[in-house]
Structure 1
């Protein structure tokens, strides 16, 4: 013979251990079921298990039950209430669903199974709305420039830097030019690049071309003078050093 009272007590102890704060005993007058027996409430929300329901619960359901005298050989008394955000029509639908599942589970402890079914229904019905309301951090815009250190680079600061750099470069080139290049008439005055290239060509000597060659050798100045700013300075210092050596001999 089945000891219904003992089986019911064991089920309550198991539910307390599994559900903890989501499980509590309530006054029968607050249960919404017609009984004077002990009544219990399970609080359910549509969140997944990895979400913190205590911090974000826009929708919550109360599953209320009370054991009958011959439970689990007969269904428990059930009631569902909206704690927050659940429509009355949906509650009626869920109530009918759970009562049908209770009859299918006769002969075994079923409260946890019914609670799991209610939670799944709640997630299907309201879970997507909950996820849509989660506030996400704004993503960085495409125009943002992230620099680990220093000030952010903007178009204005880059143009200002480039203008200052070109001015300093022009000044250095002017210092490297011989005085004759600077005092010559404007239309005959050499640019820094022309002066440097002529000096390099003289240092290398004339380029010989075989008599039977039909094409003259082409010099790619873009490659030869890719680093002309640094080489101009080295060339000038070398000439200055040779001039100083000659003066010391005389």
Structure 2
């Protein structure tokens, strides 16, 4: 057999521990309930106002209840009244809401559930003005894009940033490019044979050879690969020249 009295006493002790100053016992004549049983009043404020104890709440609600003989297998007697700033029509709607929830929670201690529901109702009902202001502030903040240092981005500042970014990007690309891609085109390289023949031509003209400088030597650029490819041709050319020279000397001797 269920010991209803014991369950009710345990719930009252729990509510006192949780709600503390918000919870108190009142005389049945003050409750507005048709009962001679013990009656209790819980003072409630909207959630956001309750968080700041120094704030004088703009609205306050009293949730009043009394256990029935077979509570929690039957709903408690309850009512609500305004302590500050709540209209009678709003109280009627809240009471109907709490009675509906009580019928849905039969079989379990439900008063704290009803308290939570009443607080949520207060927050939704009486924080609408603050919510509207917050929504307007959020909308205004979205109009300005905020950079990490808190500077609003305008069209002008964005364009200036983009120009700097593109310049820095071009500089980085230039650093990554090989030097040969940035240098002016070099003179066409001489093959081994061309280098050899240019040397012969220079040897036949004493004056130009005497006037040549280190800078001229530096300007002559040849490809080692081409030189190796033409090595045999150079040897043949040299031997042919030497043979022609010997034959010419022999004819002069005769």
Residues 25, 54 of structure 1: alpha-carbon distance in 2 compared, 3 angstrom cutoff: farther
CA deviation after TM superposition for structure 1 residue 127, in Å: 1.9
Q: Which structure shows the higher helix fraction?
A: 2
Secondary structure at the aligned position of 1:40 is classed as strand
Measure, in 2, the Cα distance between the counterparts of 1:55 and 1:90.
Answer: 23
Instruction: Find the counterpart in structure 2 of residue 31 from structure 1.
Output: 31
Instruction: Find the counterpart in structure 2 of residue 113 from structure 1.
Output: 113
Secondary structure at the aligned position of 1:102 is classed as helix
Residues 16, 132 of structure 1: alpha-carbon distance in 2 compared, 3 angstrom cutoff: farther
Mapping of residues 163-242 of structure 1, within 5 Å: none
Instruction: Find the counterpart in structure 2 of residue 82 from structure 1.
Output: 82
Q: TM-score, normalised by structure 2?
A: 0.50
Measure, in 2, the Cα distance between the counterparts of 1:60 and 1:42.
Answer: 10
Measure, in 2, the Cα distance between the counterparts of 1:89 and 1:124.
Answer: 16
Measure, in 2, the Cα distance between the counterparts of 1:65 and 1:103.
Answer: 14
Instruction: Find the counterpart in structure 1 of residue 43 from structure 2.
Output: 43
Measure, in 2, the Cα distance between the counterparts of 1:21 and 1:5.
Answer: 24
Measure, in 1, the Cα distance between the counterparts of 2:96 and 2:50.
Answer: 29
Mapping of residues 2-151 of structure 1, within 5 Å: 2-48=2-48, 51-53=51-53, 55-129=55-129
Residues 55, 37 of structure 1: alpha-carbon distance in 2 compared, 3 angstrom cutoff: same
Measure, in 1, the Cα distance between the counterparts of 2:54 and 2:10.
Answer: 27
Instruction: Find the counterpart in structure 1 of residue 252 from structure 2.
Output: none
Q: TM-score, normalised by structure 1?
A: 0.51
Residues 91, 54 of structure 1: alpha-carbon distance in 2 compared, 3 angstrom cutoff: farther
CA deviation after TM superposition for structure 1 residue 58, in Å: 1.0
Please give the per-residue CA displacement for 1:34-67, whole angstroms capped at 9, x wherever unaligned: 0000000011001328722463211000000000
Decide which structure has the larger Cα Rg and report it: 2
Secondary structure at the aligned position of 2:79 is classed as strand
Measure, in 2, the Cα distance between the counterparts of 1:47 and 1:80.
Answer: 17
Secondary structure at the aligned position of 1:69 is classed as coil
Q: Contact 1:58 / 1:130 at 8 angstroms: preserved in 2? A: no
CA deviation after TM superposition for structure 1 residue 128, in Å: 3.1
Name the count of aligned residue pairs: 134
Q: Mind listing any 5+ residue stretches in structure 2 that lack a counterpart?
A: 134-254
